[in-house]
Amino acid sequence: MTPFDQFRDATAAIQPRFAVVFGSGLADAASPFTSVASVPFADVPGLVPPTVAGHKGRVSVGHWAGVPAVVSFGRVHFYEGHPWDRVTRLVQLVAECGVTTLILTNAAGGIRDDLNPGDLMAIRGHRKLLDAEGWKTLATENRPPYSLLAPSLPTGVYAALTGPCYETPAEIRALRAIGADAVGMSTAMEAETAAALGLRVAGISCITNKAAGLGSGTLSHHEVEATAKLAVARLAEVLTGLIRGQSGETR
Ligand code: HPA
């Protein structure tokens, strides 16, 4: 049996309804999760191993604080050179597993003044700026795919850019002007795909830095990973709250 077959068998037995996807440096927030079966991205048909530091590239099925769940340690990004159907393959996979609630987490730069490194933000909407069309259609944002918000968190709008470079200060001023509160390079397409498949979707950004031009110094992936570590204990609590709240558990 391949690792993927084992994962599928375990999924059939466990029947997870929740999935969590961990972004850069955030996988340590999975402390409430115990894995039963785990498969590297490389062994999942349609997925590829990640190339980004801080992304392990494994999908596991098991229990989150006792609740059946799928957890993805890492994701696939457009800036790694992948087509969108590969970026969203993970979402297809969790939907195939029978998951009905997907929680997407990411590392993001804070644009709104009150969003500081180490803070968490519940995504209530996004600006999808992944091609020229995104900038043209700003005024006609569709219904946001995020139907589940962590009640304890401030909410905000996430600007999704393709990367791979961090933004310039001028780009951040433009993003602020169109109502973005935080900026990153993932999540939007995954959230839309999941909502289109009928999943309930939550998005949580971990603010790892002030966006370009708003803080001191130059941005680096190392800083993003180091600051993400400061937020993992809190993120674990928020995720457990969401999962228990949705599963009707009272423990
Ligand atoms: N910009 C884009 N992506 C990010 C950032 C940022 O400032 N921080 C973490 N991911």
Q: Which atom from ligand 1 is nearest to the alpha carbon of 185?
A: 3
Fill in the amino acid letter for 116.
Answer: N
| Apex 200 CA angle, 177 and 144, nearest 5 | 20
Using an 8 Å Cβ cutoff, are 239 and 65 in contact?
Answer: no
Q: Which atom from ligand 1 is nearest to the alpha carbon of 161?
A: 2
Give the count of domains, the chain. Answer: 1
How far, in Å, is the centroid of ligand 1 from the Cα of 220?
Answer: 9
Please give the structure tokens belonging to residue 131: 């091609």
Ligand 1 — pocket residues by CB below 6 A?
A: 107-109, 166-167, 183-185, 208-209, 211, 219, 224
Output the domain CATH number for residue 197.
Answer: 3.40.50.1580
What local confidence, expressed as pLDDT, does residue 135 receive? Answer: 81
Q: At residue 124, what are phi and psi to the nearest 5 degrees? A: -105, -15
- Please write the tens of the pLDDT for every residue from 85-125: 999 999 999 999 999 999 999 999 999 999 999 999 999 99
What integer best gives the mean pLDDT of the chain? 92
How far, in Å, is the centroid of ligand 1 from the Cα of 224?
Answer: 8
The model's pTM is 0.94
**pLDDT band at residue 140 under the 50/70/90 scheme:** low
Using an 8 Å Cβ cutoff, are 189 and 160 in contact?
Answer: yes
Give the mutation target among 209, 216, 220 for probing the ligand 1 site: most ligand atoms within 8 A of CB.
209
What local confidence, expressed as pLDDT, does residue 115 receive? Answer: 97
Closest CA to 94 of 5, 194, 27, 242: 194
- Please write the tens of the pLDDT for every residue from 234-245: 999 999 999 998
CA distance 122 to 208: 14
Using CA positions, which residue lies closest to atom 6 of ligand 1?
109
**pLDDT band at residue 224 under the 50/70/90 scheme:** confident
Query: Collapsing DSSP states into helix, strand and coil, what is residue 161?
Result: strand
Give 210's strand partners: 110
Q: Tell me the mean pLDDT in the region 134-157.
A: 85
Question: What does the chain come to in residues?
Answer: 251
Fill in the amino acid letter for 102.
Answer: L
**pLDDT band at residue 229 under the 50/70/90 scheme:** confident
How far, in Å, is the centroid of ligand 1 from the Cα of 97?
Answer: 30
What local confidence, expressed as pLDDT, does residue 52 receive? Answer: 73
Domain containing 160 equals 3-247
Dihedral of alpha carbons 209, 47, 79, 85, sign? negative
CA distance 157 to 138: 13
Using CA positions, which residue lies closest to atom 2 of ligand 1?
184
What local confidence, expressed as pLDDT, does residue 251 receive? Answer: 40
Please give the structure tokens belonging to residue 247: 């599963």
What local confidence, expressed as pLDDT, does residue 141 receive? Answer: 59
How far, in Å, is the centroid of ligand 1 from the Cα of 161?
Answer: 9
* Residues 6 or more apart whose Cβ sits within 8 Å of residue 55: 23, 24, 73, 74, 75
How far, in Å, is the centroid of ligand 1 from the Cα of 33?
Answer: 27
How far, in Å, is the centroid of ligand 1 from the Cα of 59?
Answer: 24
What local confidence, expressed as pLDDT, does residue 248 receive? Answer: 66
- What is the percent of the chain with per-residue pLDDT over 70, rounded to a whole number? 96
